[in-house]
A and B are shown apart, each in its own frame.
Chain A
Amino acid sequence: MKDLEIELKQLIIDTLELQGISPLDIASEAPLFDGGLGLDSIDALELGLALKKKYDIHIDTDSTELFNYFASIKNLTRFVVSQQQKIL
């Protein structure tokens, strides 16, 4: 899980062009949106696309849990693991 957390942090940094930020600067429990890292709605769409490309995860945009999945790195990691288990 820790490795996946770091991988997701790096994915966010690369995809969203967060210059000068390293995975160490992103706390796993900190909010990604609404304060915290300060990402916005376009970032959420971009991140969804990056997850699809890297992990073949298709996100159900009607899901009521969507905000929860993207709330923090920890939540996102759990979400990616659960989706990968579905694929397997």
Chain B
Amino acid sequence: MKPIRTASAESAIKETRMCFTLQHWCLWQSEEPPLVDHWPGGEVLPYNGGSPDVGFLPMMQSRRLSPLARAACAVANHCRQKNGDMPSVFFSSHGESQYYFEMLDGIVAHEDVSPSRFSLCVHNAIAGLSSFHSTSFQPYVSLSGGTEGLFAAFLEAAGMLLEVPKVLVVWYEQPLPDAYRAHLATSETTWALAMVLTRAGNSDQQLRLVRRPDKDLSTAEDTAKSLIQAILENRRSSLCQLDRSIWQWSLDYV
């Protein structure tokens, strides 16, 4: 898991490399998963009629969860149940975009803002709820957007793993409100992915990431779509184009 930077004197291109052991993963998405092999070492939670099962929570806790929060809390809980409690990195590019857009619409119409909706729109609300539901006393961070997309979460996890043995990374997205769609890439489904990462080793699944500060790679894929599809189709590598960089990831089964 040690980030290694190498610089080429000729091109001054810096590569960043990271490697983790992917100890466990859990995915839920709002469409029926394809009936094909997925990545080993993890689970796709049942579609459950388009709403992930959060029966592990009492009603007074589950009642306020949005569809996005249900998905994130379900996969996070699954990984904590299987792997114990651990520090976590929650990542979403736009978080509760449906809620905060509705709230902005309401403000324009001079309506009062719902206090519970407002509190749940805060970007770290889902991470906080998940921590609360698990009665966890472990630290968590909540990241959004940025030019490195999800890979910012891996950088954060790499930093955490210098001090702790395992980290939970939870990534969750949903379709953006129509008003944003002309300006931003959006997911067409609601989904959440949780990954339990430990330091790189000689066993299990090694998730390798390489970042290059390049642009305009015509073969690169959209990060989210690429990774989720890869998990579901048991594809083990891909290239992802971000604003300022290209990330190459691969899953090697040792």
Q: Is B63 part of the contact surface with A, judged by Cβ < 8 Å?
A: yes
Instruction: Flag if B63 contacts A49 (CB, 8 Å).
Output: no
Residues of B within 8 A of A (CB): 59-60, 62-64, 112, 114-116, 119
User: How many Cβ-Cβ contacts under 8 Å join chain A to chain B?
Assistant: 26
B114 touches A49 (CB 8 A): yes
Shortest C-beta distance, B239 to chain A (Å), equals 43
Contact of A18 among B59, B112, B114, B119 (CB under 8 A): B59
5 smallest beta-carbon distances between A and B, as pairs: A45-B115, A17-B63, A42-B116, A46-B116, A46-B115
Question: How many of A's residues come within 8 Å of B, CB to CB?
Answer: 14
- Residues on B with C-beta less than 8 A from A16 are 63
Q: How far, in whole Å, are A9 and B4 apart by their CA atoms in the complex? A: 61
- A selection of 17 A-B contacts at a CB cut-off of 8 Å is A17-B63, A17-B64, A18-B60, A18-B63, A19-B59, A19-B63, A20-B59, A38-B60, A42-B115, A42-B116, A43-B116, A45-B115, A46-B114, A46-B116, A49-B114, A49-B115, A52-B112
In the assembled complex, the Cα of A17 lies from the Cα of B69 at a distance in Å of: 15
Residues 24-43 of chain A, each 1 if its beta carbon lies under 8 Å from chain B, else 0: 00000000000000100011
Complexed CA–CA distance, A61 and B126 (Å): 29
